[in-house]
Structure 1
Amino acid sequence: MSRSPRSARDAAEAAFKSATTKPVEAAPAPKAPAIPNAREAVSLRIDRDVLERFQEDGPGWQDRINAALRKAAGLA
C-alpha cells in the first residue's frame, strides 16, 4: 500500500507554519531585584485558619508569615 502524495495545500500549509512559527526559546533567568533584599508582592493561597492565626496578633501579620516561611525554609 502506498501513501498518497501530499497535496499542494498541505505543502503550502507546512511551509507557512515553518516560516511563521517562533522557535522555542529557553526561559529567561529570573531577574535579580533592583534593590537587594527587596520584598516582592505575590499572590499566595493560605488556609483560612492559618491566616487567622497570624492575623490574631494584629498588624505585622505579613512579617510574621515571612519569618515563619524563612524558618521553615532554613533561611533564619
Structure 2
Amino acid sequence: MEELMELLASLKPEIDFETEKELIDDGLLESFDVITLIAELEDQFEVEIPAEEIVPENFNSAEGIWNLLQRIKGED
C-alpha cells in the first residue's frame, strides 16, 4: 500500500489520498488522470487492468485502487 500511496502522491500531490474517498465523484481525478494512473499502475505493479475494471468504484479511493490491484494479482 505504501508503494501505491507514493505513486498517487507523485501524480497528484495536492490530493490527500489517505482520507479522500470520492476521488472520481468529487472530480479530483478526471479522465486523463485515470488514464495516466492506470498506465503507472500497470508499469509499477506489473499488472494489466482489464477494461471492465475501469469503473469509478475502483478509483474513488486509494483503498479501492489497492483492492483492485490485489484482486487482479490474485487472478494471475
Normalising by the smaller structure, the TM-score range is: under 0.3
- Could you tell me the TM-score, scaled by structure 1's length? 0.27
- Greater C-alpha radius of gyration: 1
Structure (1 or 2) with the greater helix fraction = 2
